[in-house]
Amino acid sequence: VQSKRAVLIATIAVILALAGLGGSFVLFPHHANSDPACSAGPTTHSYVIYESDNPPYKGMNGSYYHFGHDSWPVITVCEGDTVKIHVENVYSSEPHGFQIDNYFPGVTLAPGQSYNVSFVANKAGTFRVFCNIFCLIHPYMINGTLVVLG
């Protein structure tokens, strides 16, 4: 009986947490393509990343709310896939940077600005996705990750 009660309490806690975070879950799934069929051949993936000082996207697609847990967001693709990312600085009072190790050297976005990144994921591995300039928000949260499956 006690374990059932624990499961119930955990379920309610998750529901409350999801409700509280609101829109941060609808942007794009943080494990956007966690089990891609790499044998099917190269495909093109399109993502949106919002960098923000404020809810619901605080951090990077809400990464602020996941501090201490896994990377956020996580983009998983197959080697040879084309990756398109629309990154936008929204609801912010300061500039943010955007960089992906090995794949994208970086851009600085003033509040309201956006940028479209496009590349072929030709090197397998795990790469940091992060804000590459000094700001008041991003040092206090986990980075995103690009996973390229070989």
The residues that touch Cu ion, with contacts defined as CB under 5 A, are 96, 131, 135, 138
Least distance (Å) from Cu ion to the CB of residue 7? Answer: 38
Q: Which is nearer to Cu ion, 20 or 112 (CB)?
A: 112
The full DSSP string for 35-56 is S--GGG---EEEEEEEEESSTT
Least distance (Å) from Cu ion to the CB of residue 131? Answer: 3
Q: Which is nearer to Cu ion, 100 or 135 (CB)?
A: 135
Using omega within 30 degrees of 0 as the cis cutoff, is the peptide bond preceding 139 cis?
A: no
Least distance (Å) from Cu ion to the CB of residue 36? Answer: 29
Q: Which helix (DSSP H) or strand (DSSP E) does residue 16 occupy?
A: helix 2-21
Q: Provide the CB-side half-sphere exposure for 148 (13 A, CA).
A: 22
Q: Which is nearer to Cu ion, 28 or 144 (CB)?
A: 144
Q: Which is nearer to Cu ion, 139 or 150 (CB)?
A: 139
- Rounded CA-CA distance 24/135 in Å is 21
Q: Which is nearer to Cu ion, 64 or 103 (CB)?
A: 64
Find out whether 62 and 32 touch, Cβ atoms under 8 Å.
no
Least distance (Å) from Cu ion to the CB of residue 123? Answer: 25
Distance of CA 146 to the CA centre of its chain: 9
Q: Is 18 exposed, middle or buried (0-12, 13-18, 19+ CB in 10 A)?
A: exposed
Least distance (Å) from Cu ion to the CB of residue 24? Answer: 16
